[in-house]
Every structure is written in structure tokens, then in C-alpha cells.
Amino acid sequence: MDEPSYTVLVAGIGNVFHGDDGFGVEVVRRLEKRPLPAGVDVTDFGIRGIDLMYALGDGYKTVVLVDAAERGHAPGTVSLIEPDDAGGLDFGGTAVDAHGLDPAKVLRLARENGRAPSRILLVACEPSSQTTDATWEMALSAAVSMAVDDAVRLIERLLEKELAAERGCGNAEGNPRRAGCAPDDDRAVHAGHDRRGREGDAGHAPVHEGQVDVNGRP
């Protein structure tokens, strides 16, 4: 069987009519305007949960979900959430009910139908306020708007890492690189998470206590 044309899916999730809930949509819109490596499919799924579920079974090796999520951080904080086991990904803290697309439910259905990829990541941004069905605002808040470019840069570094792993140039578990591969850049590895899959704010290095995040906050 031929390898799929695309091996990584970046899926934007959100409702542009619900303020900061449109974060994932805006991120993928900007990514679509930038040069991306071969093998990357960037798609705005908006509130189309069923479409996303079917897309998860299209042969992608890695899926990166981009969404606004309430995780108790400062507004505009971008985080990359990577569990040790993709099957254990927990979206319990995400605020997605307002746009009718609950990633946890979509992934659960996909796994039950044998359609889930082996590797799933979430790039999340802390909204400035809680989104509800009564929220009608077509603009992102200032903090979340400023975080869009941070998320774009984080995803670009992540894509380089994921595609290098598929080529055999090392992988997310730290396996050795093949001869002839470019040297690894640990700064890309640490963009928002560590090698054990723990969460951190997005940036060029792991965020330790006392450091500032990508938005310049302590």
C-alpha cells in the first residue's frame, strides 16, 4: 500500500463567532499562508466534529489539534500538551462545548472505530474569558490575538521535529538519528513540553519557575 500523501494533520478547531474560541481557526489560517514542509495538511475544521473524526482515519501518523482551552494559565498562554501515551490524552480542561466540538468525544469515537492516529498533540491557548453559547464576538481578545503568532512558530518547530522523526532522523522518544540527518536542535524539542510529555508554556526552552513565557510574562 502506498504511503499517504500527508502524514501530519494540523486541525484548527473553534467558532469564529465566539470570540477567543476562534483561536484555532485563526492559527491555521495563518499557517496556510506560510511555506510548510511536504507531508503536512493544514485544515480549518471549525465546528465540524464529524468531519474531524473521519479525517482522523485518513492515514495520518500525527495529528496536531489547535484550540482555545481553559487550563488556569494567564490569558494568551500557549501550551503544547503531549502525554506519554497518545491514548491517554485528556481534554477534560478544555472549553469547547460552546462551539459544539468536544475533542475528547471526537477522539473517543475515533478510537472506538479504530480510526485514531497513534500520535495526537494539542496546542492550546488560554482564553481571556469563558466562552458560552451566549458569546457573540467575531474578534479575538488582545492577549489571544498576540498569541496566534507564538502558536504558529511553535507548530512550525513541531512539524520539523515530527517529520524528521518519520524520516528516521530521531524521534520524539529520543531514538538515535540516521546517518546523514541534520543535527537535532533541542530548542525545537522543548517548545512547550519536555521529553517526558509534561506540559509547559510555549517557548524556545522548557519554562521553569521564575522564567518568562513567550508573551513576556513571569
**22 or 3, higher pLDDT:** 22
Question: Per-domain residue ranges for the chain?
Answer: 8-201
CB 35, CB 91: distance < 8 Å: no
pLDDT of 23 above 70: yes
CA–CA dist 60, 34 (Å, integer): 21
Q: pLDDT class for 181, splitting at 50, 70, 90?
A: low
Please give the helix or strand (H or E) that residue 124 lies within, else none. strand 119-125
Say whether pTM exceeds 0.85.
Answer: no
Residue 11: pLDDT over 70: yes
What is the model's pLDDT at position 212?
Answer: 32
**Half-sphere exposure for 213 (CA within 13 Å, toward CB):** 23
Backbone angles phi, psi at 134, to 5 degrees: -85, -5
Query: Whole-angstrom Cα distance, residue 48 to residue 101?
Result: 7
Q: What is the pLDDT of residues 93-109, one digit of tens each?
A: 444 443 455 667 777 77
> Can you spell out the DSSP letters for 60-119?
-SEEEEEEE---SS-TT-EEEE--SSGGG---TT---GGGT--HHHHHHHHHHTT---SE
Cβ(61)–Cβ(118) below 8 Å: yes
Distance between CA atoms of 60 and 9, rounded to whole angstroms? 6
Give residue-wise pLDDT tens across range 82-140: 754 444 444 544 444 434 556 677 777 777 777 778 788 999 999 987 666 666 778 89
| 157 and 188 Cβ atoms separated by less than 8 Å | yes
Q: Measured at the alpha carbon of residue 149, what is the angle toward residues 82 and 128, in degrees to the nearest 5?
A: 75
* pLDDT value for 206: 31
Q: What is the CATH number of domain 8-201?
A: 3.40.50.1450
